[in-house]
Amino acid sequence: MKGSGKNKLWKVLCLLFATTLVLFTGCDFFGSPKEDVVTISRSSAEIAIGETLTLTATSSEGRSISWYVEDENVAVVDDSGVVRGIGAGTTEVYADDGKAWDSCTVNVTFPEPDEPPESDPLTITLSSTSISMVEGGTFNLIAKMSDGSAVSAISWTTGDSGVATVTGTSTGCTVTAVGAGETAITATLGDAKATCNVTVAAKPPEGKDKYPILLWGDEFNGNSLDKSKWGYQIGTKDSEYGGGPDRWGNNELQYYTNSNDKVSDGILTITARREHVGDCDFTSTRITTRDKFSFTYGYIEARMKLPTGKGMWPAFWLLPQPSQVGSNSSANANGTWASSGELDILEVMGTRPNIVMGTVHYGGTWPGNQHSGKEYTLESSTVAEWHTYGVEWTADYIKWYVDDYCYSTINNNIYWSEASPGNPSAPFDQPFYILLNLAVDSGSFDPGAQGGPNADFTSADMQIDYVRVYQ
């Protein structure tokens, strides 16, 4: 029995040993431990900046993979292994399962330049290929580039700068007509060219240049006023021709004499003085060509140097010549003022020494009269310096000039006469005579002259170099 008990115990011990041996053998207890391995799909790669590359990785233990890069200035990688090139250079991209890792060397390069696409040749298109101009005129040419490039890069040339000049602009060019003739304006940019043919006609005459004949004039070359051309108006109203309103209808302060003028060295001087005559505290002179010379249509001009200051009112103007010599204005073709008209070539308020005024009076007899006109500002000058003042008078319009510059035009659809309904040129279709005078104003014309000249006023001169009438 003992023997069998020992055998039984031995069998149990042997069974336990065998079981333990089997367990240890299954755990590789007596061999090397099993290794975890991560493997990336490729060990190196090359991409360009902006391009992407997809890497894959496996873990021998089936663990999840995390991705990261060594230098994010070269490349970045997302959680799915997509690598994107950021900047030129080389970096390592890693796959890691927490126990093992693997890497891929990624080289990022600059992208290859694109091949330029084939394109049509560059062309320039101009808004006009042929233009006609008049001397002194300008014309704007618009240019367009077929590729949309900047027009300002175009080079502009003229075939003859004596005919036309050209200046480039942001949209094309400005052509200026210089002289009569023909030329071409060329636009050039690289191999592209475009041409506009330009024809320039001579500028038609205007102002006094339209009137070649000197019809009448006075150069004041003697030593006294030429009485065959001029007459004086004396006093405070038009006494010689039927009276008229007192103070010349304007509340003027002067008494007109035949002694406040002087001709010397080719200049007529009319002087306004502080001098008591009659019931007036000032004297001056007013001269006219009434009953001596009158004209209808043409160009009239005078060169003058005018007085300035409070109360000074120089004027160069025209009134209608009565149909009968020596008669008053009731004998005018269209009746009394202003139905027969008044044309003021020049008036100046002494308190505004750089302002010139040109006016026409028309319509009905006073007080149904009307007027139209315009002012002109002398730049960097005053009427106290020499200037020429003129009017071009036609059946269709009246134009005013200062130093040959036209500053105002009034067409015959503006003025009219109640005495000649339906006559588009009335009342300025009759002979008119010339007046020159220097009035002393109380403020009726110039609001700044109320009360007349300043207390220290003694005299002022209106100087006339010449008066000329052309037809």
User: Active site includes 219?
Assistant: no
Examine the pLDDT at 407 and tell me if it is beyond 80.
yes
Task: Summarize pLDDT for 436-463 with one digit per residue, the tens.
Answer: 999 999 999 999 999 999 999 999 999 9
Task: Summarize pLDDT for 351-389 with one digit per residue, the tens.
Answer: 999 999 999 999 999 999 999 999 999 999 999 999 999
Q: Tell me which of 252, 301, 342, 392 is the catalytic residue.
A: 342
Compute the Cα dihedral for 318, 324, 330, 332 and give only its sign.
Answer: negative
Task: Summarize pLDDT for 154-201 with one digit per residue, the tens.
Answer: 999 999 999 999 999 999 999 999 999 999 999 999 999 999 999 999
Query: What average pLDDT score do residues 189-217 get?
Result: 93
Give pLDDT, residue 148.
85
Query: What average pLDDT score do residues 289-311 get?
Result: 97
Nearest residue to 323 (alpha-carbon basis) of 426, 230, 431: 431
Residue whose structure tokens are 């036209």: 406
Give pLDDT, residue 10.
47
Rounded CA separation 313/251 (Å): 12
User: Active site includes 61?
Assistant: no
Q: 140 falls in which pLDDT band (50, 70, 90)?
A: very high
Give pLDDT, residue 66.
94
DSSP 149-201: --GGG-EEEES-TTTEEEEE-SSEEEEEE-SSEEEEEEEEETTEEEEEEEEEE
Angstrom distances, CA of residue 93 to CA of 17, 56, 71: 51, 11, 9
Give pLDDT, residue 181.
96
Q: Which residues contact 130 (CB under 8 A, 6 or more apart)?
A: 196, 197, 198, 199
Nearest residue to 107 (alpha-carbon basis) of 91, 94, 84, 129: 91
Partners of 320 in the β-ladder: 432
Examine the pLDDT at 47 and tell me if it is beyond 90.
yes
Q: 3 falls in which pLDDT band (50, 70, 90)?
A: very low
Nearest residue to 182 (alpha-carbon basis) of 173, 169, 167, 195: 195
Q: Which residues contact 255 (CB under 8 A, 6 or more apart)?
A: 235, 236, 277, 278, 280, 282, 283, 284
Task: Summarize pLDDT for 219-237 with one digit per residue, the tens.
Answer: 999 999 999 999 999 999 9
Rounded CA separation 255/242 (Å): 18
Query: What average pLDDT score do residues 28-34 get?
Result: 51
Q: 1 falls in which pLDDT band (50, 70, 90)?
A: very low
Q: Which residues contact 199 (CB under 8 A, 6 or more apart)?
A: 130, 131, 132, 133, 181, 182
Rounded CA separation 427/416 (Å): 6
Rounded CA separation 100/244 (Å): 125
Nearest residue to 64 (alpha-carbon basis) of 97, 93, 40: 97
Q: Tell me which of 347, 379, 385, 392 is the catalytic residue.
A: 347
Examine the pLDDT at 6 and tell me if it is beyond 70.
no
What percentage of the chain reaches a pLDDT higher than 70? 90
| CB of 427 closer than 8 Å to CB of 415 | yes
Give pLDDT, residue 347.
98
What percentage of the chain reaches a pLDDT higher than 90? 81
Q: 9 falls in which pLDDT band (50, 70, 90)?
A: low
Examine the pLDDT at 315 and tell me if it is beyond 60.
yes
Rounded CA separation 20/24 (Å): 6
SS3 329: helix
| CB of 53 closer than 8 Å to CB of 82 | yes
Give pLDDT, residue 294.
96
Query: What average pLDDT score do residues 332-343 get?
Result: 91
Give pLDDT, residue 25.
46
Q: 435 falls in which pLDDT band (50, 70, 90)?
A: very high
Give pLDDT, residue 470.
97
Average pLDDT, rounded, for the chain: 90
* Six token digits for residue 231: 């007459």
Q: What domains sit in the chain, N to C, each tagged with a CATH number?
A: 39-109 (2.60.40.1080), 124-201 (2.60.40.1080), 209-470 (2.60.120.200)
